[in-house]
Amino acid sequence: MDRSFCIAPMMARTDKHFRYLVRQLTKKAVLFTEMIHTNSILFGNRNKLDDYFQIENPIVLQLGGNDPESLSKVCQMAENYNYDEINLNLGCPSPKVKSGNFGAALMNHPEIVKRCLVAMKENSSKTISVKIRLGINDNDIDESLDDFIYQLSETGIKVFYVHARKAILDKLSPKDNREIPPLNYARVKKLKKDFPNLEIIINGGIIDYFNQKKEFSELDGIMIGREAYSYPRKLKNIDSNFYGIADANRSLSDITKNMFDYFETLDNQNDIKKGLIHMHGLYNGLKNAKKIRILLSNSCYFKPAKNEIIDLINDNFKNVA
Ligand SMILES: Cc1cc2nc3c(=O)[nH]c(=O)nc-3n(C[C@H](O)[C@H](O)[C@H](O)COP(=O)(O)O)c2cc1C
């Protein structure tokens, strides 16, 4: 799988509706599910793994958890689905996640992580990867990071998505943990030098990605989170810029129409509501974006809203997509 451009996993954002939207803009970008905890699959809604559409590959299933047995069971279940890769979340700093001792908290427990990864590899034919931070709390990132990566790589895993900042558990909220610990891109580049055989994909604060592509050329790819969600229109040139294939080149009104056609196939009002919210970013920066957002916010009114939005685009935003 070519991981040159990846869209980061984001809870409550990168669900199947947002991924459907992204696929209107790029065929090749690697997409992630939101993080799903193994317990919520094993003891909750087993259909969660079904939340997938053929149109979406390449797609990575991201799991949260720390129990090798549960992870192996979910990996076995995932064999029935067409995910390309299964990723273990070792970067989430939220207090709830920390109290469950998974996510970033596991960066201080390489032995547990190794057992999880071995179990996942033994029970899956898919690539197993991890998403990590540079470290947590007072870890010395010069020493502990290489040691952590070395230990994990002993299990045979080769793909590391690295959010280029530490996580500070307990003291900062998840939101602040995405802003306050400083980014350190140089440390990620050094990782690639120290482990040239591993695939290292860099994440964190990358906004101007067409230009920053050069800055990260020694790495194996870049991963974009918030910028992709807030400004999905920018994704329309990913295929040509990162993969050397023709862009889908859909106009904004065509994308809008496709999304509404898709919503009409959904039975569940909640799904429609979520999908409409994910469309807000599509119009960011355009004149009348606010008017469109108001129309999108009313899921009961979504059928007539379609024509009103298309009219707004056709009248005011011709050729802007
Ligand atoms: C709303 C939100 C939800 C997130 N959920 C997850 C998640 O489920 N799994 C994960 O590994 N990271 C999650 N993250 C972190 C992102 O994947 C990414 O590492 C972070 O936003 C930094 O990248 P960015 O600066 O490009 O946004 C989330 C981020 C946001 C903003």
Model confidence pLDDT, tens digit, residues 259-304? 999 999 998 899 999 999 999 999 998 888 999 999 998 877 788 8
Indicate the pLDDT class of residue 97, thresholds 50, 70 and 90.
confident
Q: What is the pTM of this model?
A: 0.95
pLDDT of 242 > 50? The answer is yes
Assign residue 15 a region (left: φ > 0; alpha: ψ between -120 and 50; beta: otherwise).
beta
Answer whether 64 contacts ligand 1 (Cβ < 6 A): no
Answer whether 11 contacts ligand 1 (Cβ < 6 A): yes
The structure tokens 């958890």 sit at 65
Name which of 33-42, 90-99, 148-157 the model is least confident about: 90-99
Indicate the pLDDT class of residue 320, thresholds 50, 70 and 90.
very low
For residue 50, what pLDDT is reported? 80
92 is catalytic: yes
Please tell me the distance from the alpha carbon of residue 164 to that of residue 204, in angstroms, as a whole number.
Answer: 6
User: Considering only CA atoms, which residue is closest to atom 5 of ligand 1?
Assistant: 10
What is the DSSP code string of 170-195? TTS-TTGGGTSSPP-HHHHHHHHHH-
User: Considering only CA atoms, which residue is closest to atom 23 of ligand 1?
Assistant: 204
Dig out the tokens for 276 from the structure.
């409409």
How many CA atoms, within 13 angstroms, populate the side-chain half-sphere of residue 74? 35
* Domain parsing of the chain, residue ranges: 5-243, 252-316
Contact partners, residue 251, CB within 8 Å, separation at least 6: 319, 321
pLDDT of 143 > 90? The answer is no
**Mean pLDDT of the chain, nearest integer:** 93
Assign residue 288 a region (left: φ > 0; alpha: ψ between -120 and 50; beta: otherwise).
left
Please tell me the distance from the alpha carbon of residue 61 to that of residue 125, in angstroms, as a whole number.
Answer: 13
Model confidence pLDDT, tens digit, residues 7-61? 999 999 999 999 999 999 999 999 999 999 999 999 987 778 887 777 789 999 9
For residue 305, what pLDDT is reported? 87
Contact partners, residue 278, CB within 8 Å, separation at least 6: 13, 15, 17, 18, 21, 229
Distance 151 CA to ligand 1 centre (A): 25
Name which of 162-176, 195-209, 285-299 the model is least confident about: 285-299
The maximal CA–CA distance of the chain, rounded, in angstroms, is 60
How far is residue 254 from each of residues 53, 300, 311, measured CA to CA in Å?
20, 22, 12
Q: What percent of the chain has pLDDT over 90?
A: 80
pLDDT of 319 > 70? The answer is no
The CATH superfamily assigned to 5-243 is Aldolase class I (3.20.20.70)
265, 181, 278: which is closest to 229 by C-alpha?
278
For residue 316, what pLDDT is reported? 66
Enclosing H/E stretch for 215: helix 209-215
From the list 6, 75, 92, 116, the catalytic residue is 92
